[in-house]
Structure 1
Amino acid sequence: MSAPADSERPGAQLCHVYRLRPGAEQEYERRHAEVWPELSALIDEAGIYDYHIYRYGLLLICVLRTRNGFGHASRVSAASQVQARWTRSLAHLFAEVADADGEPLWAYPVFDHPGHPPPSEGGPLRAPAGGGRAAGRGGDLRPTWQRDVPRLDH
């Protein structure tokens, strides 16, 4: 399955999933509690931010945004020996990480409720610096597929 249409738009929220092998849960969590500083630096260099990994049993749900699109982030990561080393060190933990074409297992949004966070709270719903998702849309933070639906703002 190919990347979501928004994957090259700076600031677009992207989501993909992985599946762990049974029994790998504790090692996976331990390894991510001790992420290498050079891997964190690579994530920054690739332009990835607001990156979260959630776990439900053996299912890992990765949610992230990129400054320069997912293609750029992938190219920077793929060229890195740090990424290669990290991936090799975790490979035995995964049952599934990509489709038959080597693409991430993309998850697509089926519902989005941006809500109205308190004005004083920055949190993850804040528009990225430089406009990001809200650029050119009058502050509309809804995903692309919802922009043609009239807003019910009060």
Structure 2
Amino acid sequence: MSKRVCQIIRLKPSAVEEYKAIHAAAWPAVLATLERAHITDYSNHHYPPLQLLIANFKYTGNDYEGDMKKVAEDPETQRWWKVTDGMQESFVEGAEGSGKEDPGGLFDLEEVFRFEGRK
């Protein structure tokens, strides 16, 4: 069963250009890990007035928690997070960074509406 996930975090104003540059050349090993974890249709959006990063993706697997754990255990993804975590500020009080108990301080948003078109 698939599900959509939407998360937010704040992007540090001093890191905007660096964040965009690293994501313009996302590491193939990190993308492969996401793909193995059944994550598709992943996008990040930036809203400069509030320095929001809004992430959306579709999960198509059967064990979301297990797959997210595998992502967190991947060495190349951990290295990616060491670079990107310092560019962000969490809305989650006490967030410790990616790969810990919370997913890097990303705040999950509740879906209140979806329209996928007529079938």
Deviation sequence 1:25-65 (CA, Å, 0-9, x none): 11111000011111111111111111111111111111111
Match of 1:112 in 2: 114
The letter for the 2-side match of 1:29 is K
Measured in 2, the distance between the counterparts of 1:109 and 1:29 equals 26
Between the two proteins, the alignment pairs up a number of residues equal to 108
- Which of the residues 52, 63, 74 maps onto 2:68? 74
Percent sequence identity is 24
Indicate the structure with greater helix content: 2
User: Conserved in 2, the CA contact under 8 Å of 1:48 and 1:73?
Assistant: no
Seen in structure 2, the aligned counterparts of structure 1 residues 54 and 77 have a Cα distance that, compared at 3 Å, is same
Structure 2 CA distance for aligned equivalents of residues 90 and 28 of structure 1: 7
Task: Give me the TM-score of the superposition, normalised by structure 2.
Answer: 0.79
Q: Distance in 2 between matches of 1:47 and 1:61?
A: 20
- Where does structure 2 lack aligned partners over 5 or more consecutive residues? 95-100
Q: Structure 2 CA distance, aligned partners of 1:108 and 1:16?
A: 9
Higher Rg: 1
Give the distance between the partners of 1:81 and 1:26, measured in 2 at CA. Answer: 25
Amino acid at match of 2:114: D
User: Which structure carries more strand by proportion?
Assistant: 2
Whole-Å Cα distance in 1 between the matches of residues 89 and 14 of structure 2?
Answer: 11
Aligned residues: CA RMSD: 1.9
1:65 paired to 2:67: no
TM-score between both structures, scaled by the size of structure 1: 0.63
List gaps (5 residues or longer) in structure 1.
1-9, 117-138, 140-154
**CA distance change for structure 1 residues 99 and 76 in 2, over 3 Å: closer, same or farther?**
farther
Aligned counterparts of 2:21 and 2:34: Cα–Cα separation in 1:
19
